[in-house]
Amino acid sequence: MAVVLAGGAGVPAEAREGQPPSGVERCAAGTCHFDVGPGTYDVQVLLGGDASSRTAISGETRRALLPETAVAAGERAVRSFTVDVRTPEGEPAGPDGTPGLDLVVGGPASALAGIRVTPARHARQLLLVGDSTVCDQPGEPYTGWGQRLPQYLRKGLSVANHADSGESTVSYLADPRMWATVRPLIRPGDLVLIQLAHNDKTTDEATYRDNLRTLVDAARAEGGRPVLVTPVVRRWFNADGTLDNGTALLVNGLGVDHPAVIRSLAAEEDVPLIDLTARTKALVESLGVEESKALYLTDEKRDNTHTSAYGATLYAGLVRDALRDLGLVPRGLIRR
């Protein structure tokens, strides 16, 4: 990373007076550290330098917070986003992580001229309840779509990803580190996205439906707005190039069609529905058997369930599109 001290028109007063822009002194070797406690914070960055640059920001447990941003030589660009700081900083059942907020400056030709972190006063939360296809995965090449979603949202909306590997509707309700921890964090107006299905392999239909209803009712009781999300598909093809109607489309060994149950419950309870099964199915089938391998860890791990960073980024884009299309997030808070 090149940490560039800004100068010239449009630069904060302290930089024009010969002082480093706020926060740059907290950056070393590509990482900026802020000693803050758990909470929600607004981050403003000043990008650009003498040469043309392309800068991206990630943070905490490999979360994509700001997409690669191009700035012409000699120009400056201000970008802002809101970030959730919590302990554990990644999966609820994972390690605590490092205290405070760590932001990593990347990109092919990065240039950071200033950075400022302040408490977010009026931000809404987008809380994620899910499994390993959603969570903040600690190590490459595994990446959850919730890990890539923050880069698509602007200042004023934070992504609090409480998804955890291996969770079913049964375990998420039973483990005190999961729903019992998430529920008190819900504030009036917050969105609570619920995608649990991949690990409900032995859950009967009545129990599965009741568990989802419990999550919906509890989110509403706290003033939140639940959003049901059908699961991302698994990459299992039929001979004709379509996805298998069982394994790929999340029908478990008891014959429970998870996406169908979710769609039915959403209609019954008047809950917004993001049909991520349908959206990911369309994308995977459009790419075909060979090109769709890049979305998953097929080549690296012989894994057709968990997504690569590339696949998770595309799937997060589908979630962003659904949030926009359903009017759940104001267009002004969505980043293309």
Question: All domains of the chain, ordered by start, with CATH?
Answer: 2-10+22-118 (2.60.120.430), 122-333 (3.40.50.1110)
Query: Could you check whether the bond before residue 95 is cis, i.e. omega within 30 degrees of 0?
Result: no
What whole-number distance in Å separates Cα of residue 264 and Cα of residue 22? 51
pLDDT at 197 over 80: yes
pLDDT score of 336:
82
What pLDDT, on the 0 to 100 scale, is given for residue 17? 39
pLDDT digits (tens, 9 = 90+) for 285-320: 999 999 999 999 999 999 999 999 999 999 999 999
Give the pLDDT of residue 15.
36
| CA separation for the pair 240, 131 (Å, rounded) | 30
Q: In what order do the strands lie in the sheet with 2-3?
A: 2-3, 111-119, 39-47, 77-85
31-34 and 27-28: which strand pairing? antiparallel
- Determine which of 24-28, 51-55, 63-67, 203-207 has the lowest per-residue pLDDT on average: 24-28
What is the per-residue pLDDT across 58-100, written as a single tens digit (0 to 9) for each? 999 999 999 999 999 999 999 999 999 999 999 999 999 999 9
Taking residues 133-148, what's their average pLDDT? 98
pLDDT in tens, 216-266: 999 999 999 999 999 999 999 999 999 999 999 999 999 999 999 999 999
Average pLDDT, the chain: 93
SS3 84: strand
Q: What is the pTM of this model?
A: 0.93
Q: Which amino acid is at 315?
A: Y
